[in-house]
Amino acid sequence: MDKGPNSAKPAPEAGTPKPVKPVIDLVAEKAEILRRYRGLLRSIRGERTPEATRIIRKAFNIAVEAHKDQRRKTGEPYIYHPIAVARICAEEIGLGTTSVVAALLHDTVEDTDLTLDDVRDLFGPRVATIIDGLTKMSGIEFQTNSVQAENFRKVLLTLAEDVRVILIKLADRLHNMRTLDSMARDKQLKIASETTYLYAPLAHRLGLYNIKSELEDHALRFKEPVIHADISQKLKKGEAVRKRFISRFTLPIRASLDKEGFSYEIKGRPKSVHSIYSKMMNKHVSFEEVYDVFAIRIIMDTRQELEKADCWKVYSIVTDHYQPNPDRLRDWISLPKANGYESLHTTVMSPGGRWVEVQIRSKRMDEIAEMGLAAHYRYKAGDEQTSALDAWLNRIREVLEEPGTDALDFVHDFKLNLFSDEIAVFTPQGEMRNLPAGATALDLAFDIHTQIGRQCIGAKVNHKLVPLSQALKSGDQVEIITSRKQQPKEEWLRFVATAKARHRIKQSLRDQKKKLAVVGRESAMQHLRQIGAKTTTQNIAQLVEHFQAGTPVDFFYHVARGKYDLSKLTQAQVRNGRLVLPKRKVDPEERSLDEIVSEIRGENQGSLVLGDDLKKLDYQLSKCCNPIAGDDVFGFITEGEGIKIHRVNCPNAVQLMSNFAYRIVKARWKGKDTVEFLAGIRFSGIDDVGLVNKITTIISHEHNVNMRAISFESHDGIFEGKVMAYVHDTDHLNALIEKLKRVRGVRNVERVDQ
């Protein structure tokens, strides 16, 4: 960490020019720190007692003193960061005094001389517990898969004690993302990937939609700066037009609401840049074709017992004026999401022929939507949605407290609980169960009871037999059919969507493997005795190495399954009771992963250079994203397949950078003109005579491109085509795409990975 300007340094030698120090105005900095502190106090919601003010001031003074010699990468005093995190906690999440104190002190135990015992003595056990959780979580530097997962598990276990640990960590991550510009490009990509992989889904699951959207937007800004800037510019450019449209659209609605005597507020909210980008990618459309770039929100100021009825009255008023799309009605008032989100969403057709999303909710619902979990407990009073949130937290604790979970499996399983919209299904007795979207009858079976899941052989959905792999829909009534003879199968892992089901299946498979391994062990020992070999651990180790089995348990398991044939072992391979088996041939060029990493990175952490002249290192272009010269790429060191080159925006990049940062190497291109890369182009438009001929002529003749595959389909006057062609680099590909866009009848052209 950068230290302050007063750090002692040796005097420069005579004759050497003195380094130019930036001039720091300490008086101005002190005034700015106080100004920010006063802003923090103003941001705390509700009544603040003199005692609360005193304890916050005490925490502030200790944090200022502890961080006095530290500076951020930007050169600012480090104390700006804890103040900013505390303000996000108070202003944007709605947390109170304890959280503000913990946020001010969150880096002191890790980065300064202050200890956890000091914090406990000064501020009590609750603040100390929160800071302990935050200190553990800051250990998630994603150095190795196990370190990352184990630290993540530790901090989530504190969720059982105090959920504020997670909320403060999200505030910390949000401020880091807001100030990430000063970091190196590879650090930006790593932190942005972690954010997309874990923190944004976590914010979503806790109901912090604004924070989730901002985290995703910042991550996109660093991962795809050109795309982010383009969408932002288009949103800004259309802002005035949007405001006029919203004003005209809401005019008749306002008149009707006023006539009915409602107290309300109407907001026009543009969708986040990341949300628009996701729609463009998922639906293969341009920015102009994303119809719901913004949503209109109607917020009612009404009593809690009248909320539901008033929201439906407002829905009736909106649909009196504008025709709704029946497929786009979402009722999260009758059945709130598991994170407590309540709202009524409908999409209606405006007079200009444009679909508009309208969200209807009460003031209480809006605060819960904005503040998430923090607002929940303010309105606790035994609400159903609060118990749903508590049920989710309990499910998380179940996953956390299971012993023996593999580190990476744990993170993957936990993420299953983070994503996902929810569906509600019913048992034959009418009991309702919430499951993630995409869940199957097998998920429901494990959700009811582990034993029912293990013995599940089939299911009836709405009284009809269906495959266990069939995804359930909201409102389905599901009957589970069981058999005592059934045992979990490995293929089940492919179609379950809940962490609980995955974990229980893996646990059962491990138990089955251990039982088979006992049988395999007896068989192996018997064979060793037959050929005169001793049943020692050294001989077992010889067999494991000879068959390349990994572990003794794996070896015994495969013996029981018949994969390894021990009958080929003979007495000739036994000397004085010891096995003497030929060792696996080792390539003299073979090196450890650490050696490869060191060679590539060198002392100065330089980039891996990709091109024709790189003979000494084995690398290949990844098939999941087909990078071509000119793409922003990175190298991923595999254990057996050399280095794989991925595009930074590869679908797998987020997971690789988050879980295996220690295997990532920077990479750049060299000598791109002599190499050809396979790239895919998809295009669509209005069918026309001779169109196919025009397109193939441009591709093969005007741009000298060799095509590997081409396909066209035409339906009712609309054509769609795809070509896989060899190009030199991104400039070559972009020039080809631009030329195709100019063909009459072609409406949309885009690059595809496969």
Interstrand relation of 718-727 and 664-669 (parallel, antiparallel or unpaired): unpaired
Percent of the chain at pLDDT > 90 equals 14
Give 702's pLDDT tier (boundaries 50, 70, 90): low
Whether residues 683 and 560 share a domain: the answer is no
**Alpha helices in 435-498, H assignment, sequence order:** 441-448, 450-454
**What residues make up the domain containing 195?**
2-9+26-223
Residue 256 predicted with pLDDT over 90: yes
* Structural domain includes residue 60: yes
* Structural domain includes residue 587: no
pLDDT at 202: 78
Whether residues 212 and 249 share a domain: the answer is no
> How would you list the strands of the sheet with 706-715, edge to edge?
706-715, 718-727, 677-686, 746-752
pTM of the predicted model as reported, rounded to 2 decimal places: 0.63
pLDDT at 597: 46
Q: Which of 523, 548, 579 is the last residue of a domain?
A: 579
* Structural domain includes residue 584: no
Whether residues 624 and 491 share a domain: the answer is no
Supply the DSSP symbol for 44: S
Residue 712's φ and ψ, nearest 5 degrees, are: -135, 145
Is the CB of residue 43 less than 8 Å from the CB of residue 91?
A: yes
C-alpha triplet 631, 635, 636: angle, nearest 5°: 135
Residue 293's φ and ψ, nearest 5 degrees, are: -65, -25
Element containing residue 308 per DSSP (H, E): helix 307-321
pLDDT at 311: 93
Give 379's pLDDT tier (boundaries 50, 70, 90): low
Tell me how far apart the alpha carbons of residues 30 and 584 are, in angstroms, rounded to a whole number. Answer: 67
Whether residues 217 and 344 share a domain: the answer is no
Q: What is the mean pLDDT of the chain?
A: 78
Handedness of CA 147, 151, 153, 154 (dihedral sign): positive
Ranking 14-23, 118-127, 210-219, 526-535 by mean pLDDT, the lowest is: 14-23
* Structural domain includes residue 185: yes
- Domain count along the chain: 6
- Region 67-90: mean pLDDT is 88
Q: What's the CATH number where 283 sits?
A: 3.30.460.10
pLDDT, one tens digit per residue, over 233-251 is 988 888 888 888 888 999 9
Of residues 409 and 404, the one with the higher pLDDT is 409
pLDDT at 402: 55
* Structural domain includes residue 228: no
Q: Which of 630, 653, 671 is the last residue of a domain?
A: 671
pLDDT at 251: 93
Element containing residue 561 per DSSP (H, E): helix 552-561
pLDDT at 58: 92
pLDDT, one tens digit per residue, over 412-445 is 555 555 545 677 788 888 787 878 778 899 999 9
Q: Which residues contact 632 (CB under 8 A, 6 or more apart)?
A: 647, 648, 649
- Give Cα separations from 542 to 390, 559, 582 (angstroms): 52, 15, 9
Burial of 13 (C-beta count, 10 Å sphere; 0-12/13-18/19+): exposed
Ranking 475-489, 597-611, 626-640 by mean pLDDT, the lowest is: 597-611
Among residues 686, 660, 669, 557, which one has the least CA distance to residue 609? 669
Give 658's pLDDT tier (boundaries 50, 70, 90): low
Element containing residue 746 per DSSP (H, E): strand 746-752
Burial of 155 (C-beta count, 10 Å sphere; 0-12/13-18/19+): buried
Percent of the chain at pLDDT > 70 equals 78
Residue 118 predicted with pLDDT over 50: yes
Of residues 379 and 338, the one with the higher pLDDT is 338
**Helix axes 209-223 and 164-178, enclosed angle (nearest 10):** 40
Q: Give the tokens for residue 407.
A: 């580190």
* Structural domain includes residue 20: no
Of residues 728 and 87, the one with the higher pLDDT is 87
Whether residues 520 and 399 share a domain: the answer is no
Whether residues 255 and 314 share a domain: the answer is yes
Whether residues 738 and 691 share a domain: the answer is yes
Helix, strand, or coil (residue 457) = strand
Tell me how far apart the alpha carbons of residues 392 and 396 are, in angstroms, rounded to a whole number. Answer: 6
Whether residues 213 and 325 share a domain: the answer is no
Tell me how far apart the alpha carbons of residues 743 and 738 are, in angstroms, rounded to a whole number. Answer: 9
Residue 163 predicted with pLDDT over 90: no
Is the CB of residue 443 less than 8 Å from the CB of residue 452?
A: no
Q: What's the CATH number where 692 sits?
A: 3.30.70.260
* Structural domain includes residue 19: no
Residue 18 predicted with pLDDT over 70: no
Residue 141 predicted with pLDDT over 50: no
Residue 631's φ and ψ, nearest 5 degrees, are: -70, 150
Q: What's the CATH number where 468 sits?
A: 3.10.20.30
Q: Which of 223, 251, 275 is the last residue of a domain?
A: 223
Whether residues 267 and 393 share a domain: the answer is no
- Which residues are annotated as catalytic? 110-111
The total of other beta-carbon atoms located within 10 Å of residue 404's CB is 8
Residue 314 predicted with pLDDT over 90: yes
Residue 410 predicted with pLDDT over 60: no
Tell me how far apart the alpha carbons of residues 628 and 680 are, in angstroms, rounded to a whole number. Answer: 11
Is the CB of residue 511 less than 8 Å from the CB of residue 524?
A: no
C-alpha triplet 750, 752, 753: angle, nearest 5°: 160
Helix, strand, or coil (residue 637) = strand
Residue 452 predicted with pLDDT over 80: yes
Is the CB of residue 48 less than 8 Å from the CB of residue 95?
A: no
pLDDT at 507: 85
Tell me how far apart the alpha carbons of residues 305 and 321 are, in angstroms, rounded to a whole number. Answer: 27
**Buried b / exposed e along 94-107 (16+ C-beta atoms within 10 A):** bbbbbbbbbbbbbb
Is the CB of residue 194 less than 8 Å from the CB of residue 223?
A: no
pLDDT, one tens digit per residue, over 504-521 is 888 888 888 888 888 888
Beta strands in 186-340 (DSSP E): 264-270, 294-300, 323-324, 330-331
Give 386's pLDDT tier (boundaries 50, 70, 90): very low
Q: Give the tokens for residue 199.
A: 């923190």
* Structural domain includes residue 535: yes
pLDDT at 401: 54
- Region 276-290: mean pLDDT is 81
Whether residues 36 and 138 share a domain: the answer is yes
pLDDT at 407: 47
Residue 320 predicted with pLDDT over 50: yes
The total of other beta-carbon atoms located within 10 Å of residue 28's CB is 9
Residue 676 predicted with pLDDT over 60: yes
Whether residues 153 and 47 share a domain: the answer is yes
Whether residues 163 and 140 share a domain: the answer is yes
Tell me how far apart the alpha carbons of residues 107 and 67 are, in angstroms, rounded to a whole number. Answer: 9
Handedness of CA 81, 83, 88, 93 (dihedral sign): positive
Among residues 95, 166, 96, which one has the least CA distance to residue 130? 166
